[in-house]
Amino acid sequence: MHDVEVKRRMGEADIAALSKLIEAASHADGHRALGEHKWLDLVQGGREGFAGFVATEATGRHRVIGYAQVSRGAGSWAVEYVVHPHWRTEPQLRGDLVAAALREIAEQGGGHVHVWVPKPSSDDDSVAEAAGLKRGRDLYQMRRSLPVEGLQSTVATRPFRPGADEEAWLEVNNRAFHGHPEQGSWTRRELDERERQPWFDPDGFLLAEIDGRLAAFCWTKVQDDDHDGGEVGEIYVIAVNPDFQRRGLGRELVLAGLEHLHSVGLEKAMLYVDRDNEEARGLYRMLGFHDDHLDRAYTGDISPAGELHTSPAST
């Protein structure tokens, strides 16, 4: 038996209790239970639309045994939840946390929602289905250590030039990722928005040209590591112009990106790849990446009235 309570601001005692929960879950799972941004939202009081749902034991010491957090992104909502390892055999707890989060979104006007679950189990699938959500994308996080011993890139690359390379990059990106739900139809506005981010570094955004045409690129990003609080280098977006694929350029560009990340002092690299992108997964495996874990998105559209309509596998 448990109770679920909504919190729109967190006091010190709440943060301490949630830290313990997140620590226990992270220890059991081998990776951080709540994403860095979500955790910052929680500690700093939350952005617009923030709501945390804290589940406690209904009896005894009323320990915190579960937590769900709702946050409003650009045009959609995101939900993450954490369950204490000792309470994972009780699907009702997950179900109540997800239901509370979705109710909150309905009360705040509804909209498109992603519920991201790391290392999903069949219980997570059942809970999402019962809440009327559809299974969206499955993403593998793959990792490897740096440097890559014994392999060197042999293709010349140069840094992205803000203000000059945007149109060529957009064309190659959108052709290479044609049909991809998130990466396949970028506009100038989306690219400009990324270039304004504090993490944006043109020196880590490598382009390779053949006969004056953009043939391939590897865009890297340095970020906080959810595993241990250190830093990790991400292969953020990589693609080869379809006119130049299967000539070894993908492999060369991954190596160039990894060399750059090691040159700025990083000792590990990671990336996200769709589960069914066999070409890319084969390439990454060949270069020593291993699957770290799978993240699954469940999606749906919440109407303001609280009635749930699922969208056809949209992400």
Using CB under 6 A, which of 100, 239, 255, 269 touches ligand COA?
A: 239
249 near ligand COA, judged by CB under 6 A: yes
Mask: binding to ligand COA, 166-205, rule CB under 6 A, as x and -? Answer: ----------xx----------------------------
- 3-state SS, the chain, equals CEEEEEECCCCHHHHHHHHHHHHHHHHHHCCCCCCHHHHHHHHCCCCCCCEEEEEEECCCCCCEEEEEEEEECCCEEEEEEEECHHHCCCHHHHHHHHHHHHHHHHHCCCEEEEEEEECCCHHHHHHHHHCCCEEEEEEEEEEEECCCCCCCCCCCCEECCCCCCHHHHHHHHHHHCCCCCCCCCCCHHHHHHHHCCCCCCHHHEEEEEECCEEEEEEEEEEEECCCCCCEEEEEEEEEECHHHCCCCHHHHHHHHHHHHHHHCCCCEEEEEEECCCHHHHHHHHHCCCEEEEEEEEEEEEECCCCCEECCCCCC
Nearer Cβ to ligand COA, position 33 or 273?
273
**Min dist. Cβ of residue 230 to ligand COA (A):** 23
Residue 238 contacts ligand COA per CB under 6 A? yes
- Judged by CB under 6 A, the residue of 222, 283, 297, 302 near ligand COA is 283
Q: Does 286 bind ligand COA (CB under 6 A)?
A: yes
Nearest distance from C-beta of residue 256 to ligand COA, angstroms: 12
Query: Under the criterion CB under 6 A, does residue 206 sit at the interface with ligand COA?
Result: no
Window of 5-13, 36-44, 106-114, 243-251 that interacts with ligand COA by CB under 6 A? 243-251
Rule CB under 6 A: which residues touch ligand COA?
A: 176-177, 238-240, 245-251, 273, 277, 279-280, 282-283, 286
